[in-house]
């Protein structure tokens, strides 16, 4: 497994080794020991989630406030998405900046979206199955979001606005300047 720090160093691309032949392929999608060695601390994933969506479906930008904040390890089982991690740690030198990474069944890349980041993705293929691990359970009272098309964020979702498919909830999220955010000083891993 190869780990690559992005322009926001806490957001990490994971590239598994893929062994293929005429029969298909094999890959390890998660290795706790290698990830812990790279990070210098252990992430205790407790739940796996999966969604299936069609082209133009945009889910996000979502996060949970402490004490229910989540680190996510996201990947695409089939199809292709643009995955976005937005830094919402007030006081961070990269506050309000985002990382956008294409994840697909072909490149097998995964993304670690740490606590203190909002997360979203858009389906670029005709259909996609998206899977992710989280290190905290869903908490409705701590569930928050940022508006996907906040002009201050300048996120290029790569598809025309008129074909986007969003939930009612995602169209009513606040702008980043009005959202509940994380304090950079708080220890998000306690």
Sheet with 72-78, side-by-side order of all strands: 2-5, 12-15, 110-113, 72-78, 127-134, 47-54
Among 107, 29, 38, residue whose Cα is nearest residue 73: 29
Catalytic entry in 98, 119, 132, 148: 132
132 flagged as catalytic: yes
Locus of tokens 């996201």: 74
> Rounded to an integer, what distance in angstroms lies between the CA atom of residue 10 and that of residue 112?
8
Report the DSSP beta bridge partners of residue 190. none
* 62 given a catalytic annotation: yes
Q: CA dihedral in degrees (69, 85, 14, 23; nearest 10)? A: 110
Radius of gyration of the chain (CA): 16
Q: How many C-beta atoms lie closer than 10 Å to residue 108's C-beta?
A: 18
Instruction: Considering the candidates 22, 62, 119, 148, report the single residue annotated as catalytic.
Output: 62
Q: Which residues are catalytic?
A: 62, 132
């Amino acid at each position: 497994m190869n780990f690559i720090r992005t322009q926001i160093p806490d957001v990490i691309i994971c590239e598994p080794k893929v062994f293929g032949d005429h029969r298909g392929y094999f890959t390890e999608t998660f290795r706790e020991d290698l990830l812990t060695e790279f990070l210098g601390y252990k992430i205790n994933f407790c739940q796996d989630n999966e969604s299936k969506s069609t082209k133009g479906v945009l889910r996000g930008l979502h996060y949970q406030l402490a004490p229910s904040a989540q680190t996510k390890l996201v990947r695409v089982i089939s199809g292709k998405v643009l995955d976005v991690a937005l830094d919402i740690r007030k006081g961070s030198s990269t506050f309000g900046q985002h990382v956008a990474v294409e994840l697909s069944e072909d490149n097998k890349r995964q993304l670690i979206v740490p606590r203190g980041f909002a997360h979203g993705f858009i389906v670029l293929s005709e259909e996609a199955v998206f899977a992710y691990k989280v290190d905290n359970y869903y908490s409705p009272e701590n569930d928050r979001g940022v508006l996907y098309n906040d002009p201050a964020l300048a996120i290029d979702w790569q598809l025309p606005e008129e074909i986007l498919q969003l939930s009612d909830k995602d169209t009513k999220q606040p702008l980043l300047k009005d959202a509940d955010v994380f304090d950079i000083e708080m220890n998000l891993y306690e």
